[in-house]
Amino acid sequence: MPVTVSARHVTLDDRLRTRAGEVLDRLGRLGGRVLGATAVFDCVAGIPWVEVRVHCRGGRVLVATAVADNHRRALDKVDRKSRRQLRRLHTRPLALRHASAAT
């Protein structure tokens, strides 16, 4: 699974970049339908901000964002949000997923 970690307007240290890679790898193992994941670190108005995009089969893209006191805490928040989204995607009945497409 391809994993991308990028930063805009900030410089990431190696420990945070490694941690982000580990988080994205774990997300890939959590959902069997994950094709790739991207983490973007930014600083918006001086506030650390993180966005994670998880690309799943079927063209589905799950996006989670978080802000916190530092990038590490924001990464932890976005990890929890992404896990919840993946669990909901996999536990939702198939009939409900495609009900909107049938109408």
Structure tokens at 96: 């409900």
The whole-number pLDDT of residue 5 equals 96
Say which range, 22-26, 63-67, 85-89, 91-95, has the weakest mean pLDDT: 91-95
In this structure, the strands spanning 47-56 and 34-44 are antiparallel
The whole-number pLDDT of residue 103 equals 55
Cβ–Cβ under 8 Å, residues 9 and 42: yes
**pLDDT(99) > 80:** no
Cβ–Cβ under 8 Å, residues 36 and 24: no
Q: How high is the mean pLDDT of the chain?
A: 88
**pLDDT(100) > 80:** no
Domains and CATH numbers, the chain: 3-91 (3.30.160.100)
Mean pLDDT of 44-48: 92
